[in-house]
Amino acid sequence: MIYTVTFNPSLDYLIHIDDFKPGEVNRMSFEQIYPGGKGINVSIVLQELGCESTALGFAAGFTGDEIHRQLQETGVRSDFIRLPSGNSRINVKLKTPGSETDMNGQGPEIPQDRIEELFDRLDSLTENDFLVISGSIPGSLPDDIYEQILKRLDGKSIPAAVDATGELLTNVLSYHPFLVKPNHHELGEIFGVELKNRGDVIPYAKKMQIIGAQNVLVSMAGEGAVLAAADGEIYQSDAPKGTVRNSVGAGDSMVAGFLAGYLKNRNYKEAFHLGLAAGSATAFSDGLASGDDIRSLAETL
C-alpha cells in the first residue's frame, strides 16, 4: 500500500473571473470546490492510474468532513486524524486571463497528542508499503517533522518519497529516501546556483544522490525533466507539447506517475516517462489529470 501524508489538507475553491477589477464586485465565470494538499493530490492521481493508496494527515471541522467525503467519491481511501477544534483550511485559487493568484488559509492547530497518533499509524508500515510525505507544514508542527518521521522509520526498509523544499528536504537525505522531487529552482536554491537547462541540472541531481537520495527527479516545467536514477543512469526528456492551463498539482502528479510506473515493473525509464506524462497532463488540464490523459501523453514519449 502507498500511504501519503498531508499535514495541512484543504478545500480548494477555484474561481475564474474573466475581467477582474480590484475593489469592485466581480462575477465568476467558473467555480469548483475540491480537496487539496500535495499528498492528497498524489493519492488522487495514483487512483486515476489504478494504484490504491491511503491518504493520511489531519482534518478538522466541517471542511475536514467535506475533504473526506469528496475523497470517498473519487475512490481514495483516507484515514485522517480528527482534530479537537478548528477547521481544515480553505484555499482560494483565482484565475484571471494571464495570471493565477493563490490565497491559502492557515489551517487548524495540531496538538502533540494528535502528532503521536500519526506516528503510531506510521509505525505499522512495513517494507511492502510506500510512504509519500510532501508539502509545507503548518506552524503548529515542529520544523523537523519530516526528519522525525524518517528517523522513526529508519532501518525498516520502507521506501519514502519526499517532495519538499529547503531544509525540510536536505535534513532527510541522510535517511536515504527512495525519491526526492525538487524542481530546478528549488534544487538551485539548495546549492546556491541558478539552473537554467537540463545540462545544468544533471551534476546537482547527482550531488543530491551523493548526499543520500536514491532517485532524484527534477521537474523543469517547459524544459521537461531529469531523473538521476538509483541504477546509475541519467534519464532526461523535453516536456510533451501542449497548452499550459494549470500549474496546481503538476509536481504532485509527477510523483504519482513515477511511483505508479515504478511499481508496475521496477523500470526507472518507464517510471520517469509516466511521471513526466502525469505532470504534463495536469499542466494541460483545468484540474488534476485523468488516467486516460496521462496514458495517452505517455505514449508520445
User: Up-side HSE of residue 131: CA atoms within 13 Å toward CB?
Assistant: 26
Q: 100 pLDDT exceeds 90?
A: no
The answer to whether the Cα torsion of 237, 208, 173, 187 is positive or negative is: negative
Q: Within a domain: residue 85?
A: yes
Tens digit of each residue's pLDDT (9 = 90 or more) over 214-230: 999 999 988 899 999 99
pLDDT range class, residue 135, cuts 50, 70, 90: confident
Catalytically annotated residues: 252
Does a structural domain hold residue 32? yes
Query: Would 273 be classed as within a structural domain?
Result: no
Please report whether residue 197 resides in a domain.
no
Say if 153 falls within a structural domain: no
Residue-level pLDDT at 86: 94
163: part of which helix (H) or strand (E)?
Answer: strand 160-163
Check if the beta carbon of residue 55 is closer than 8 Å to that of residue 78: yes
**What's the number of domains the chain is made of?**
1
CATH code for the domain of 69: 3.40.1190.20
pTM for this predicted structure = 0.94
Q: What is the pLDDT of residues 252-285, one digit of tens each?
A: 999 999 999 999 999 999 999 999 999 999 999 9
256 contacts 219 by C-beta, under 8 angstroms: no
In a domain? residue 74 = yes
Radius of gyration for the alpha carbons in the chain, expressed in angstroms and rounded: 19
- Angle between helical axes of 291-298 and 250-265 (0-180°, round to 10): 70
Q: Are 177 and 150 in contact (CB under 8 A)?
A: yes
Residue 94 domain-assigned (yes or no): yes
Residue 40's pLDDT is 97
